[in-house]
Amino acid sequence: MDPSSAITTVIRARRTHKQFTGAPVSRLQLDDLLELASWAPTHRLSEPWRFAVLDQAAIARLGEYLRFEPEIAAVPDPAKGAAKLAKLLERLPSLGAMVQVTWMRAGDTAIDLEDHAAAAAAVQNLLLAATARGLGSFWSTSSALGHPKTLAWCGCDPHREGFLGSIWLGLPADAPPPPPRRPLTERVRWL
Ligand SMILES: Cc1cc2nc3c(=O)[nH]c(=O)nc-3n(C[C@H](O)[C@H](O)[C@H](O)COP(=O)(O)O)c2cc1C
Protein backbone atom coordinates (compact mmCIF):
# COMPACT_ATOMS: atom_id res chain seq x y z
CA MET A 1 0.00 0.00 0.00
CA ASP A 2 1.13 3.56 -0.65
CA PRO A 3 2.48 4.64 2.78
CA SER A 4 0.97 8.10 2.45
CA SER A 5 -2.46 6.57 2.03
CA ALA A 6 -1.92 4.32 5.09
CA ILE A 7 -1.13 7.26 7.38
CA THR A 8 -4.04 9.26 5.94
CA THR A 9 -6.40 6.39 6.73
CA VAL A 10 -5.11 6.04 10.30
CA ILE A 11 -5.29 9.79 11.03
CA ARG A 12 -8.88 9.90 9.82
CA ALA A 13 -9.86 6.65 11.56
CA ARG A 14 -8.59 7.59 15.04
CA ARG A 15 -11.56 8.28 17.29
CA THR A 16 -12.10 8.89 20.95
CA HIS A 17 -13.52 5.64 22.30
CA LYS A 18 -15.15 5.44 25.70
CA GLN A 19 -16.67 1.97 25.42
CA PHE A 20 -14.35 -1.03 25.51
CA THR A 21 -15.02 -4.77 25.52
CA GLY A 22 -12.94 -5.64 28.57
CA ALA A 23 -10.33 -7.55 26.54
CA PRO A 24 -6.76 -6.96 27.78
CA VAL A 25 -4.07 -5.12 25.84
CA SER A 26 -0.89 -7.18 26.11
CA ARG A 27 2.44 -5.99 27.45
CA LEU A 28 3.93 -6.72 24.02
CA GLN A 29 1.38 -4.42 22.36
CA LEU A 30 1.94 -1.72 24.97
CA ASP A 31 5.73 -1.87 24.54
CA ASP A 32 5.22 -1.47 20.81
CA LEU A 33 2.91 1.54 21.24
CA LEU A 34 5.21 3.27 23.72
CA GLU A 35 8.28 2.70 21.58
CA LEU A 36 6.46 4.40 18.71
CA ALA A 37 5.31 7.21 21.01
CA SER A 38 8.94 7.95 21.82
CA TRP A 39 9.67 8.78 18.17
CA ALA A 40 7.86 12.10 18.60
CA PRO A 41 9.88 15.24 17.88
CA THR A 42 11.70 16.48 20.96
CA HIS A 43 13.73 19.69 21.12
CA ARG A 44 17.18 19.14 22.63
CA LEU A 45 16.28 15.44 22.68
CA SER A 46 14.88 16.01 26.16
CA GLU A 47 12.33 13.18 25.74
CA PRO A 48 10.24 14.80 28.48
CA TRP A 49 7.40 12.23 28.40
CA ARG A 50 6.95 9.68 31.15
CA PHE A 51 4.54 6.76 30.92
CA ALA A 52 3.07 4.91 33.90
CA VAL A 53 1.48 1.77 32.44
CA LEU A 54 -1.40 0.04 34.15
CA ASP A 55 -2.51 -3.42 33.08
CA GLN A 56 -5.96 -4.61 34.04
CA ALA A 57 -4.85 -5.82 37.48
CA ALA A 58 -3.27 -2.41 38.21
CA ILE A 59 -6.40 -0.62 36.92
CA ALA A 60 -8.46 -2.69 39.37
CA ARG A 61 -6.09 -1.73 42.21
CA LEU A 62 -6.30 1.92 41.19
CA GLY A 63 -10.11 1.68 41.21
CA GLU A 64 -10.02 0.32 44.78
CA TYR A 65 -7.67 3.11 45.81
CA LEU A 66 -10.00 5.75 44.36
CA ARG A 67 -13.04 4.12 45.96
CA PHE A 68 -11.52 4.60 49.42
CA GLU A 69 -10.16 8.10 48.73
CA PRO A 70 -13.40 9.82 47.66
CA GLU A 71 -11.96 13.29 48.24
CA ILE A 72 -9.84 12.78 45.10
CA ALA A 73 -12.93 12.79 42.87
CA ALA A 74 -14.37 15.71 44.84
CA VAL A 75 -11.86 18.06 43.18
CA PRO A 76 -12.67 20.56 41.74
CA ASP A 77 -16.41 20.26 42.52
CA PRO A 78 -17.32 18.49 45.78
CA ALA A 79 -21.01 18.38 44.78
CA LYS A 80 -20.19 16.21 41.75
CA GLY A 81 -17.55 14.02 43.39
CA ALA A 82 -19.69 10.97 44.21
CA ALA A 83 -21.29 10.79 40.74
CA LYS A 84 -17.95 11.31 39.04
CA LEU A 85 -16.32 8.57 41.10
CA ALA A 86 -19.21 6.15 40.42
CA LYS A 87 -18.97 6.76 36.65
CA LEU A 88 -15.20 6.28 36.67
CA LEU A 89 -15.41 3.07 38.72
CA GLU A 90 -18.06 1.72 36.35
CA ARG A 91 -15.89 2.37 33.28
CA LEU A 92 -12.47 1.28 34.48
CA PRO A 93 -13.08 -2.51 34.36
CA SER A 94 -13.82 -2.36 30.62
CA LEU A 95 -10.36 -0.99 29.76
CA GLY A 96 -7.64 -3.20 28.30
CA ALA A 97 -4.89 -0.98 29.71
CA MET A 98 -4.25 2.58 30.82
CA VAL A 99 -1.22 4.80 30.35
CA GLN A 100 -0.80 7.78 32.64
CA VAL A 101 1.24 10.32 30.69
CA THR A 102 3.23 13.09 32.34
CA TRP A 103 6.03 15.36 31.25
CA MET A 104 9.01 16.50 33.28
CA ARG A 105 8.44 20.14 34.15
CA ALA A 106 11.19 22.54 33.15
CA GLY A 107 11.98 25.64 35.20
CA ASP A 108 12.21 27.76 32.05
CA THR A 109 8.72 28.59 30.71
CA ALA A 110 9.68 28.39 27.03
CA ILE A 111 11.34 25.01 27.49
CA ASP A 112 8.44 23.78 29.60
CA LEU A 113 6.00 24.66 26.78
CA GLU A 114 8.21 22.85 24.26
CA ASP A 115 8.40 19.81 26.47
CA HIS A 116 4.64 19.82 27.00
CA ALA A 117 4.20 19.99 23.22
CA ALA A 118 6.66 17.15 22.65
CA ALA A 119 4.83 14.95 25.15
CA ALA A 120 1.53 15.76 23.43
CA ALA A 121 3.09 14.71 20.12
CA ALA A 122 4.13 11.45 21.78
CA VAL A 123 0.54 10.90 22.86
CA GLN A 124 -0.70 11.44 19.32
CA ASN A 125 1.85 8.88 18.09
CA LEU A 126 0.51 6.47 20.68
CA LEU A 127 -3.12 7.09 19.65
CA LEU A 128 -2.37 6.66 15.96
CA ALA A 129 -0.33 3.51 16.55
CA ALA A 130 -3.20 2.11 18.64
CA THR A 131 -5.68 2.93 15.88
CA ALA A 132 -3.48 1.22 13.27
CA ARG A 133 -3.54 -1.92 15.44
CA GLY A 134 -7.33 -1.95 15.79
CA LEU A 135 -7.32 -0.62 19.35
CA GLY A 136 -9.63 2.08 20.63
CA SER A 137 -8.22 4.93 22.69
CA PHE A 138 -9.40 7.79 24.86
CA TRP A 139 -7.27 10.76 25.94
CA SER A 140 -8.81 11.70 29.27
CA THR A 141 -7.86 14.62 31.46
CA SER A 142 -10.10 13.42 34.28
CA SER A 143 -9.24 15.53 37.31
CA ALA A 144 -9.41 12.41 39.49
CA LEU A 145 -6.85 10.58 37.35
CA GLY A 146 -4.64 13.66 37.24
CA HIS A 147 -4.95 14.40 40.95
CA PRO A 148 -1.55 14.62 42.68
CA LYS A 149 -2.48 11.71 44.97
CA THR A 150 -3.43 9.54 41.98
CA LEU A 151 -0.22 10.46 40.20
CA ALA A 152 1.80 9.63 43.31
CA TRP A 153 -0.06 6.29 43.53
CA CYS A 154 1.12 5.64 39.94
CA GLY A 155 4.73 6.30 40.94
CA CYS A 156 4.89 9.79 39.40
CA ASP A 157 6.34 12.76 41.24
CA PRO A 158 3.57 15.37 41.10
CA HIS A 159 6.05 18.08 42.12
CA ARG A 160 8.29 17.46 39.10
CA GLU A 161 5.85 16.03 36.55
CA GLY A 162 2.81 17.62 34.90
CA PHE A 163 -0.25 15.56 34.01
CA LEU A 164 -0.77 15.34 30.26
CA GLY A 165 -3.53 12.81 30.33
CA SER A 166 -4.71 9.34 31.02
CA ILE A 167 -4.77 7.24 27.88
CA TRP A 168 -7.39 4.53 27.96
CA LEU A 169 -6.83 1.64 25.59
CA GLY A 170 -8.82 -1.42 24.67
CA LEU A 171 -10.82 -3.21 22.06
CA PRO A 172 -13.55 -0.80 21.00
CA ALA A 173 -17.09 -1.87 21.88
CA ASP A 174 -18.66 0.66 19.55
CA ALA A 175 -17.83 2.83 16.57
CA PRO A 176 -18.44 6.47 17.46
CA PRO A 177 -19.07 8.73 14.47
CA PRO A 178 -16.44 11.38 13.83
CA PRO A 179 -17.33 14.67 15.51
CA PRO A 180 -17.35 17.28 12.74
CA ARG A 181 -14.39 19.55 12.14
CA ARG A 182 -14.83 23.14 11.04
CA PRO A 183 -14.02 24.16 7.48
CA LEU A 184 -10.31 24.80 7.07
CA THR A 185 -11.07 28.34 5.94
CA GLU A 186 -12.08 29.17 9.54
CA ARG A 187 -8.72 28.05 10.90
CA VAL A 188 -6.20 28.77 8.15
CA ARG A 189 -4.75 32.06 7.07
CA TRP A 190 -2.80 31.96 3.80
CA LEU A 191 -0.09 34.58 3.37
C1 LIG B 1 -5.77 17.15 25.82
C2 LIG B 1 -7.09 16.45 25.63
C3 LIG B 1 -7.85 16.12 26.72
C4 LIG B 1 -9.07 15.47 26.59
N5 LIG B 1 -9.81 15.17 27.72
C6 LIG B 1 -11.03 14.65 27.59
C7 LIG B 1 -11.81 14.37 28.74
O8 LIG B 1 -11.35 14.54 29.88
N9 LIG B 1 -13.06 13.89 28.57
C10 LIG B 1 -13.57 13.67 27.31
O11 LIG B 1 -14.72 13.25 27.22
N12 LIG B 1 -12.82 13.85 26.20
C13 LIG B 1 -11.57 14.35 26.31
N14 LIG B 1 -10.79 14.53 25.19
C15 LIG B 1 -11.23 14.00 23.90
C16 LIG B 1 -12.02 15.00 23.08
O17 LIG B 1 -13.28 15.17 23.66
C18 LIG B 1 -12.12 14.43 21.65
O19 LIG B 1 -10.84 14.40 21.08
C20 LIG B 1 -13.06 15.27 20.77
O21 LIG B 1 -14.40 15.05 21.16
C22 LIG B 1 -12.92 14.93 19.29
O23 LIG B 1 -13.24 13.57 19.05
P24 LIG B 1 -12.21 12.59 18.32
O25 LIG B 1 -11.03 12.43 19.25
O26 LIG B 1 -12.95 11.30 18.12
O27 LIG B 1 -11.80 13.22 17.04
C28 LIG B 1 -9.55 15.16 25.31
C29 LIG B 1 -8.77 15.49 24.18
C30 LIG B 1 -7.56 16.13 24.34
C31 LIG B 1 -6.72 16.48 23.12
Whether residue 187 lies inside any domain: the answer is: no
**Using a 6 Å cutoff on CB, does residue 146 contact ligand 1?**
no
Burial class, 133, CB count within 10 angstroms (exposed 0-12 / middle 13-18 / buried 19+): middle
How many domains would you assign to the chain? 1
Q: In angstroms, what is the span from residue 15 Cα to ligand 1's centroid?
A: 9
**CA of 41: how far to CAs of 11, 49, 52, 121, 147, in Å?**
18, 11, 20, 7, 27
The yes-or-no verdict on residue 48 having pLDDT over 90 is: yes
Mean pLDDT of all residues in 26-46:
98
In a domain, 7, yes or no: no
Any domain includes 123: yes
What's the whole-number mean pLDDT along residues 151-173?
98
Residue 160 near residue 104, CB atoms below 8 Å: yes
- Evaluate whether residue 191 is within a structural domain: no
- Whether 16 is in the pocket of ligand 1, judged by its Cβ within 6 Å, is yes
pLDDT digits (tens, 9 = 90+) for 101-149: 999 999 999 999 999 999 999 999 999 999 999 999 999 999 999 999 9
Would you place residue 2 in the very low, low, confident or very high pLDDT band (cuts 50, 70, 90)?
confident
89 pLDDT above the threshold of 80 = yes
* Domain that includes residue 24, residue range: 16-173
Query: Residue 150 maps to which CATH number?
Result: 3.40.109.10
Say how many Å lie between the CA of residue 176 and the centre of ligand 1: 13
pLDDT above 70 as % of the chain: 99
Residue 152 belongs to a domain: yes
Going by CA atoms, what residue is nearest to atom 27 of ligand 1? 15
The confidence score (pLDDT) of residue 83 equals: 95
pLDDT at 1 > cutoff 70: no
180 CB less than 6 Å from ligand 1?
no
Look at ligand 1, atom 31, and give the residue with the nearest C-alpha: 139
pLDDT at 183: 97
pLDDT attached to residue 46: 98
Mean pLDDT of 11-38: 98
Any domain includes 180: no
Q: Is 140 in the pocket of ligand 1 (CB under 6 A)?
A: yes
182 belongs to a structural domain: no
Instruction: Please state the rounded mean pLDDT for residues 173-182.
Output: 96
Let me know if residue 188 belongs to a domain: no
**Strand, helix or coil at 149?**
helix
- pLDDT above 90 covers a percentage of the chain that reads 97
